């Protein structure tokens, strides 16, 4: 299971780095071609698709590395048992929020299934699917973080 999770993490890294690189290259080339009076209309749609996936998968990477904003100043003042309890409590709140996000993200995905991009013939659901996928990945990360807090205390 740990090996599978490592591969998922590696896949996230490769996907977000590749998508960000493609966004930069695509937007740069589209800007140059637009000044030459040859616009790439589809470039905005592809950039939007890649950006959505980069954001939500990147959020899991940042969460896993503890790079998201937090209020550690207050928590650091408490004894370790209370710190552990608060961490678990906050991770549980995060999981609840992520499940709500997952449910609404799936609804959004279904609602957008008939909608297509202006210049592409693919469903807009591919953009909105990034939200539930990112939520699932962050739920997994939250569970692993809770497990780490519990095993460190034992």
Tens digit of pLDDT for each residue in 11-65? 999 999 999 999 999 999 999 999 999 998 899 999 999 999 999 999 999 999 9
Distance in angstroms (rounded) separating the CA atoms of residues 150 and 116 = 46
Q: How confident is the model at residue 121 (pLDDT cuts 50, 70, 90)?
A: confident
Show me where the domains of the chain are located: 2-153
Give the 3-state secondary structure of the chain.
CHHHHHHHHHHHHHHHHHHHHHHHHHHHHHHHHHHCCCCCHHHHHHHHHHHHHHHHHHHHHHHHCCCCCCCHHHHCCCCHHHHHHHHHHHHHHHHHHHHHHHHHHHHHHHHCCCCECCCCCCECHHHHCHHHHHHHHHHHHHHHHHHHHHHHHC
Q: Is a pLDDT exceeding 60 seen at residue 101?
A: yes
Q: Is a pLDDT exceeding 80 seen at residue 154?
A: no
Q: How confident is the model at residue 68 (pLDDT cuts 50, 70, 90)?
A: confident
Mean pLDDT of 126-147: 97
Indicate the pTM of the whole model. Answer: 0.89
Q: What percentage of the chain carries pLDDT values higher than 90?
A: 80
Query: How far is the first Cα of the chain from the last one, in angstroms, to the nearest whole number?
Result: 22
């Amino acid at each position: 299971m740990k090996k599978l999770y490592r591969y998922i993490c590696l896949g996230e890294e490769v996907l977000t780095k590749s998508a960000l690189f493609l966004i930069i290259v695509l937007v740069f080339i589209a800007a140059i071609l637009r000044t030459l009076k040859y616009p790439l209309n589809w470039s905005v749609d592809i950039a939007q698709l890649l950006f959505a996936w980069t954001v939500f998968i990147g959020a899991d990477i940042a969460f896993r590395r503890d790079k998201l904003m937090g209020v550690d100043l207050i928590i650091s003042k408490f004894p370790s048992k209370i710190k552990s309890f608060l961490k678990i409590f906050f991770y549980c709140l995060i999981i609840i929020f992520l499940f709500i996000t997952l449910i609404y993200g799936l609804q959004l995905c279904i609602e957008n299934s008939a909608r297509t991009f202006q210049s592409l013939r693919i469903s807009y659901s591919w953009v909105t699917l990034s939200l539930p996928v990112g939520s699932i990945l962050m739920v997994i990360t939250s569970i692993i973080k809770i497990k780490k807090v519990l095993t460190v205390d034992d």
